[in-house]
Structure 1
């Protein structure tokens, strides 16, 4: 089935990185008001920085896939193809997965349980405001091809 032309995309209203930033800031503010500290450890610091670094690398690599295939990365713009290779062969949402993993890494670096567990509301907000809309859009636009991709590849991991 060839994609139908569209002009609106997935009707996503909030940029996903903004959702993550707001969650991180709220969690950090909550940590300031009601501290819930993780004991300091150089191993924890290293793991946190590694997780943030891996997340950033994953975002850069998957972003290049969009550019290489000449597809809009912004979820509010129309798309012409489904990327099913590379990290998209493992997760339907590798960038959102990386953003949530980044929350965990930042929580480890800041030694804050609030920030670390901020990954949970971040994932829920991403699902509600972004992923559900993208999936409905892609299924409507690409039909059976997207349904088969969804059956083959998990949403997160």
Structure 2
């Protein structure tokens, strides 16, 4: 996908805000502590993932995965192949909870689907081309989205 994931996240937040304001579908109150805890969990995935890429001196640019110089598989990357996207999704969920509208929560589902379908799959194809069997072994061992395993990690 040509739209960088951070831009997609920002767009989803803007649209979630508009939906919550104009078409909330159903509203709810979320305790501030739950919103804060959810946002913190998102940061726990996102920040170590970025730091890991920087420490390994490989690209953090998701629009150029073919420029990766190192296949990072340790730390947070041993739990999920996409901790940055997991973190973004959780932060978006925290934002939707803060907005308190079901329609805002739907934007988290849309973000998940578009990142999975249009961003991650292309990145994984590029990583498979760049790193070959080590990436294939990694993809077979570590789920794309935390507990969500793909039966055909590289074929879908």
Would you call these one fold, judging by a TM-score over 0.5? yes
Choose between structure 1 and 2 for higher RCO, CA contacts under 8 A separated by at least 6 residues. 1
Q: Normalised by the size of structure 1, how large is the TM-score? A: 0.85
Number of residue pairs aligned between Structure 1 and Structure 2: 144
Secondary structure in 1 aligned to 2:72? Answer: coil
Aligned alpha-carbon RMSD (Å): 1.4
Q: How far is 1:41 from its partner?
A: 4.3
Aligned to 1:96: 85
Aligned to 1:65: 52
Runs of 4+ with deviation above 4 angstroms: none
Mean alpha-carbon deviation: is it higher for 142-151 or for 55-64? 55-64
Name stretches of at least 5 consecutive residues in structure 2 with no aligned partner: 147-156
Q: How far is 1:67 from its partner?
A: 0.8
User: Within 2, Cα distance between the matches of 1:81 and 1:88?
Assistant: 13
Q: Is the 8 A contact 1:24 1:103 kept in 2?
A: yes
Matching of residues 2-151 of structure 1 within 5 Å: 12-42=1-31, 45-77=32-64, 78-151=67-140
Q: Which has the larger radius of gyration?
A: 1
Secondary structure in 1 aligned to 2:71? Answer: coil
Q: How far is 1:136 from its partner?
A: 0.5
Q: Is the 8 A contact 1:100 1:122 kept in 2?
A: yes
Q: Is the 8 A contact 2:45 2:87 kept in 1?
A: yes
Q: Is the 8 A contact 1:105 1:116 kept in 2?
A: no
